[in-house]
Structure 1
């Protein structure tokens, strides 16, 4: 399995100039690809259904070719979801920290 670094996500309680809001996860976010260091800021609503590790700890994100292969035998803490057309995302716990895997299918 090859992991290609994508970004780091940092939870905050501060207001930022948000680029979007993902309703199912109740999370506000900045676009990491607009940031010089690929930092994504995330702010979760109080009633966010996501795992506490994701809402309170920074995460590192990797691009993978196959999410099912990437999560095999791993502790999934946010089930696979699609935030945009052709994109699938999942979060796992790794040594007490959240890790995000992203699969992007280009047409």
Structure 2
């Protein structure tokens, strides 16, 4: 963690290898995402066999933090995904923190709008390049 960056817990992601294809699908990421119906922000991620994502993302749970400066937060870090904008107005990068994937997020969206956009598949992660 960098002293000049503000980190705020956002969500926890858990990779699952059960073959379920429920949830919002991203063909680009080869991933299905399902939100936990409980009160806390937990997501279940399931991956296709040909998912191009880094092996850590597909096998190790990750924690996500909102940061006030994504570019500065990833400076000097081993970036394993991004930075990119998977959902409109939601910038993301994932880093390898000693074998644990950490998702860092910069956004002006409030949580309700962000999760609504994700559930609707509203963003570049869900659009095909065709």
TM-score, normalising length: structure 1? 0.88
Whole-Å separation in 2 of the counterparts to 1:25 and 1:83 = 10
Please tell me whether the aligned partners of residues 22 and 83 of structure 1 are also in contact (alpha carbons under 8 angstroms).
no
Q: Which runs of 5+ in 1 are unaligned?
A: none
How far apart are residue 24 of structure 1 and its match?
Answer: 1.6
2:28 matches 1:46: no
The match for 2:85 is 82
Whole-Å separation in 1 of the counterparts to 2:50 and 2:21 = 19
The match for 1:29 is 33
Please tell me whether the aligned partners of residues 10 and 39 of structure 1 are also in contact (alpha carbons under 8 angstroms).
yes
What SS does the corresponding residue of 2:28 show, helix, strand or coil? Answer: helix
The match for 1:92 is 95
Superposition misfits of 4+ residues, deviation over 4 angstroms:
none
> How many residue pairs are counted as aligned between the two chains?
104
How far apart are residue 97 of structure 1 and its match?
Answer: 0.6
- Once the two structures are superposed, the pairs formed by residues 7-26 of structure 1 within 5 Å of their partners are 7-14=11-18, 15=20, 17-18=22-23, 20-26=24-30
Cα RMSD for the two superposed structures: 1.5
**Which protein is richer in strand relative to its size?**
1
Q: Which moved more, 1:78-87 or 1:92-101?
A: 78-87
Q: Which runs of 5+ in 2 are unaligned?
A: 110-130
The match for 2:76 is 73
TM-score, normalising length: structure 2? 0.73
